A = this chain, B = another copy of it.
Amino acid sequence: MRLTRYFLPTLKETPAEAQIASHRLMLRAGMVRQAGAGIYSWLPLGFRVLKRIETIVHEEMQRAGAHAVLMPTMQLADLWRESGRYDAYGPEMLRIRDRHGRDMLYGPTNEEQITQIMRDDIQSYRDLPRNLYHIQWKFRDEIRPRFGVMRGREFLMKDAYSFDLDFESARRSYNTMFVAYLRTYARMGLRAIPLQADSGPIGGDLSHEFVILAATGETRVHADRRLLDMDAACSGIDYDGDLEPVVRAWTSLYAASDDKHDPETAPVSGSDLLVARGIEVGHIFYFGTKYSEAMGASVAMPDGERRLLHGGSYGIGVSRLAGAIIEACHDDAGIIWPDSVAPFDAGIVNLKTGDPLCDSIAAAAEERLHAAGLEVLHDDRDERAGVKFSDMDLIGLPWQIIVGPRGAASSRVELKRRADGQRLDLSLDDAVPCILDSRT
């Protein structure tokens, strides 16, 4: 992609309204623009990141046996009256009346809607277990939206819903999601810590929040340092096997949020205790028969008996993750994208646009990166080198290929790794393999 043809409105100044790093950097890097309080438009660079996050979430959900659906954003109030949540939800629910005077709402979540689908279309015990998820925009009318996409009103969420015949089977579904979440965050280059969370009226221990570590995170986590050594990618996991030992290995190590941590009773302390900042990016939750009972969702067992569905819900803040990843991965110069979610794999900085030699080396670099299956943003603007360098650092692509008149004469380029600033002087022939090697 040539930058002269792209829409990348970077900002030199830090916007005054942005209080946290990710918000500042997303505005400065031309990723998003505010469309209203807590509502954002995603510009081309931001949209690419959002899509790459989405793709990882889709892949890991499907690997874990969940099926993608898409429920609408607008829901009927009557559906929420069945569960009793229409009155209970409070002012965060955006309530709407259509032209015929029917009460509707912009979905803040979809338990009722998915339970309705199950109730209408699942008849037999043989149709279970099922796990359906979607990635859809939600709206929660936060009283004081802030922190950019980290706490927006309109936000993109992945919400999965499992349905099982009994608690034991539901626990298997829960464990599957637990592992899928670990894998999802690991693939994004994040270190996630599962924290036991309030389970609400159901009781039991099947409720976890996933917090990723980020120096500028909003909450403080106290955890057994050995959690950092766990295999978060869950290499070689077999979802058809017993996941209980994996989940137990993770949950047996201490981890608590600030408000639950008590130094007196915590089982770890001193150098064994990791105290770090983090950001909540997911929540998994077993809610039993709460919705199936209220809405009459059951299946027939072999003996004809009706059995209420046991449900769980599993959320990941997809748009929030774009911000959370930046909180975890940035420096003073800008964003440092993990390879897996970077909007482009590499950038090309042509230091002397208009110089025939530099132009041809830069074009050749673009072509070779493409041929290798990499996505590349080529800064072919007629701008000063300083502007190009600082924009490229700001948008944080993992690799930069810098083409200058000195090296160009001998077909040499400078290859810079954004994460550590390491620079290599290489022939163009060697630069592409060097990038590819680092990714495998």
Contact = CB atoms under 8 A, between A and B. Distances in A.
A289 B98 CA distance: 33
B98 A96 contact: no
Contacts of A37: 102
Given A41-B72, A42-B70, A65 B141 contact: no
Contacts of A132: 7, 44
Contact of A41 (B69, B92, B98): B69
A72 B5 contact: no
A141 B37 CA distance: 24
A33 interface: yes
Interface string A131-174: 01010010101010000000001100000000000000000000
Given A44-B67, A94-B96, A99-B91, A74 B117 contact: no
Interface in A66-85: 67-76
A70 B47 contact: yes
Nearest to A44: B67
B33 A74 contact: no
Contacts of A91: 99
Interface in A26-54: 30, 33, 35-37, 39-44, 47-48, 50-51
Contacts of A99: 91-92, 141, 143
Interface string A208-234: 000000000000000000000000000
Given A41-B117, A44-B68, A139 B74 contact: yes
Q: Chain A interface: which size bin? A: 35 or more
A369 B76 CA distance: 42
Contacts of A94: 96, 98
A295 to B, nearest CB: 14
A385 to B, nearest CB: 19
B36 A76 contact: yes
Contacts of A272: none
A121 interface: yes
A261 interface: no
Given A104-B36, A120-B33, A137 B43 contact: no
A141 B103 CA distance: 13
A104 B96 CA distance: 11
Interface string A82-114: 000000000110101011001010100000010
Contacts of A127: 7
A388 interface: no
A93 B403 CA distance: 52
Interface of A: 4-7, 9, 30, 33, 35-37, 39-44, 47-48, 50-51, 65, 67-76, 91-92, 94, 96, 98-99, 102, 104, 106, 113, 116-117, 120-122, 126-127, 130, 132, 134, 137, 139, 141, 143, 153-154
Given A7-B127, A72-B137, A94-B96, 18 more contacts: A7-B67, A7-B69, A33-B120, A35-B74, A35-B76, A35-B113, A36-B74, A36-B76, A36-B104, A41-B113, A51-B68, A72-B154, A73-B73, A73-B137, A74-B153, A91-B99, A106-B106, A137-B137
30 contacts: A5-B65, A6-B67, A7-B69, A7-B121, A33-B117, A33-B121, A35-B72, A35-B75, A35-B116, A36-B72, A36-B74, A36-B75, A36-B76, A42-B70, A42-B71, A43-B117, A44-B132, A47-B68, A47-B69, A47-B70, A47-B134, A48-B68, A72-B137, A74-B153, A96-B96, A96-B106, A98-B141, A99-B141, A99-B143, A106-B106
7 closest Cβ contacts across the A-B interface? A9-B121, A42-B70, A44-B67, A41-B71, A91-B99, A99-B141, A39-B72
